[in-house]
Structure formats: C-alpha cells, structure tokens
A and B are shown apart, each in its own frame.
Chain A
Amino acid sequence: SQQGEEDPQALSIQEGENATMNCSYKTSINNLQWYRQNSGRGLVHLILIRSNEREKHSGRLRVTLDTSKKSSSLLITASRAADTASYFCATEKVGAQKLVFGQGTRLTINP
C-alpha cells in the first residue's frame, strides 16, 4: 500500500517558473527521498533528506522536511523543458530498507 500522498497529481507551468510539489507520509522514517522518472524509463535518484535534517539543496532543487507534520516539499527553481517528468517521493521507514512510494506528480514544463 502507498504510504505517501503527493500533490498536486499534475502540474503544468511555463519554463523559467518555479515548481513546488508536496508529499505527506504516515509513519516514522529514517529518510525521505525524491526520484524523477521520464516516460518509459527507470527512476533517477534526486535527493535524500534524513529525518534529522530540515532542508537540503542540490543545484536547482530544494527539499524541506517537517517530521512533526510528516510532510516534505520539493522545489525546482528556474524550470526547464528537460525537467518535464514524473516526480515521486519515497520514504524509508524505521527498521526497514524498502522504499514506500507516493503516487507521484506529473510535471510539464511548457516552453
């Protein structure tokens, strides 16, 4: 079963704008990870944030984690057409190695 819920399910913005996606989860976690999936391909790991971290940056990506609200957000700044993809959050629960995925956000960047 899916632990995470993501919103929005779909997001369409103009190139150059910022895109924000949100993820909520239900149980205690070791970490939360964000992945990107282009159509017909596997998942590409973007960023991992540990349960004791609140914010992490990687290039144009910014991830926040609020363990009290059991939620995370992914911000992509200055979006590009190549950012068009589906984005998934995934949690690694305490005591487990497997990932539990959200349903994903389909992001479309319009040129």
Chain B
Amino acid sequence: GAGVSQSPSNKVTEKGKDVELRCDPISGHTALYWYRQSLGQGLEFLIYFQGNSAPDKSGLPSDRFSAERTGGSVSTLTIQRTQQEDSAVYLCASSLDSRRESNQPQHFGDGTRLSIL
C-alpha cells in the first residue's frame, strides 16, 4: 500500500529490555513525526524529522528514548531499558515539507502497541 507502515504492530517485552520500532513513511514525504498515545496522557508529540535531521526533539520523555532517520525515509524509535510507564501505542506520521508549503495534513500509520511486563 501507499500509506505509512509501522512495524511491529504489537510488541510485548520485559521491563529493562531495549525495543526498536520502525516507521516507513509515504514515499516523497520529507517530514516524519513520532507520537505516543496512552490512556493517561492522550496523544503526545515525541520528535519531528525533516529529512534526516531532527529540528524538534522536545517531546522525548527521557534520555532512554532516541530516534534516527536514514536516507530521508525509514525511521526507527529506540527505547532503552524499558519501564512499565513506556507502555503505549507509538504512532508515526509523515507529511510533505510544511516549511515550503504550509498547512500540510499528517498521514498516520496504525501504530505499534507496546506492552512492558
């Protein structure tokens, strides 16, 4: 399909383990976003990429969270030493470059449901 693809769709892991989540954006979309959705906090912004650089990382909750993007395409979000409060749905979105033409809608993947035991 031509939409945003995320993998895995579900991940269950033990507390203290590292996890890696993957996002494959829509082809041609230079902007990529990670959000987190949890019962207590709603939908929260984590990080924004423009190409391979991340001009806004303000939403990353701690230094256990990191993300990278290579080739201006696929992005991975890594959580080290997972804690139970990291349990949530992690959503990725992509859009055209809103710096060049503003007011671009974001297109979301179905998310990765992360459960920390």
Contact = CB atoms under 8 A, between A and B. Distances in A.
Given A31-B103, A33-B105, A42-B4, A97 B91 contact: no
Given A30-B102, A97-B99, A98-B59, A42 B42 contact: no
A101 B43 contact: yes
Q: State the majority secondary structure of interface residues on B.
A: strand
Interface string A7-50: 00000000000000000000000110101000011111100101
A99 B44 CA distance: 9
Q: State the majority secondary structure of interface residues on A.
A: strand
Interface of B: 4, 31, 33, 35, 42-45, 48, 50, 56, 59, 91, 93, 95, 98-99, 102-103, 105-111
Interface of A: 2, 30-31, 33, 35, 40-45, 48, 50, 88, 90, 92, 96-104
